Amino acid sequence: MFVLVNLKTYPCDPIEVAEAVRDVDERTDARLGVAPQAAHLERVAETGVETWAQHVDPIEHGSNTGHTLAESVADAGAAGTLINHSEQRLKLADIDGSVRAADRAGLETVVCANNPAQIGAAAALGPDAVAVEPPELIGTGTPVSQADPDVVEDAVDAAASVDSDVSVLCGAGISTGDDVVAAADLGAEGVLLASGVAKADDPTAALEDLVEPL
């Protein structure tokens, strides 16, 4: 089970959270990673934690002021990148371009989508994984596996019907170990979460609660 913690732009200490993720990862069979802001990528990667970017743009080297180049993300120590998060939406052609850019730089990819239909379209672009995240549940503490489990099951089916090699992750409202188990029971191979760890008073305790049932 892959647990990817997105730090968004929350006012947390990215190194503290990264070290917590790294330490818990060493004590569990689950795979854990963290996605800090681009400005913190290199420092976070230096902790030894599996580090992900929150976004890369569909660009190559050149005149692209203000954009995020996949090669720069990889050089900073990232192993993968999120693409098309609900807070950084892209057009389909740009999602495709970002997946290609990430592949070019040797980055693993997770493409986010709102619903099973979009999951099928995203899977057709050949990412390593897709993540279903109904935006209305993000940050609510109510997991999609509880609010609408059919969304997760249908997303798993949609991805499998297009490309059985594309893994499905579940996001939005994940905050407890029970949420992770429920996502796995519905066919997800991982979860995305943010506030449940990034806003926790004790990130290590929050992470241990997440992986303990696994």
7 is in an annotated binding site: yes
Q: Check if 85 is active-site.
A: yes
Q: Which residue has the tokens 């854990």?
A: 32
User: Residue 51 is encoded by which pair of tokens?
Assistant: 């580090």
**194 carries a ligand binding annotation:** yes
CB atoms within 10 A of CB 144: 29
Neighbour tally for 24: CB within 10 Å = 24
Determine whether the annotation assigns residue 83 to a binding site. Answer: no
Q: Which of 40, 67, 133, 189 is catalytic?
A: 133
66 is in an annotated binding site: no
Longest dimension (CA), the chain: 48
CB 8 within 8 A of CB 54: yes
48 a known binding residue?
Answer: no
Q: How many CA atoms lie within 13 A of 143 on its CB side?
A: 25
Selected catalytic residue, list 85, 136, 153, 208: 85
Give SS3 for 80.
strand
Question: Is 199 annotated in some ligand binding site?
Answer: no
Residue 126 assigned ligand-binding role: no
Q: Is 40 a catalytic residue?
A: no
Which residues make up each annotated binding site? Answer: 6-8, 138, 173, 194-195
- For the annotated catalytic residues, the residue numbers are 85, 133
Annotated binding site for substrate: 6-8, 138, 173, 194-195
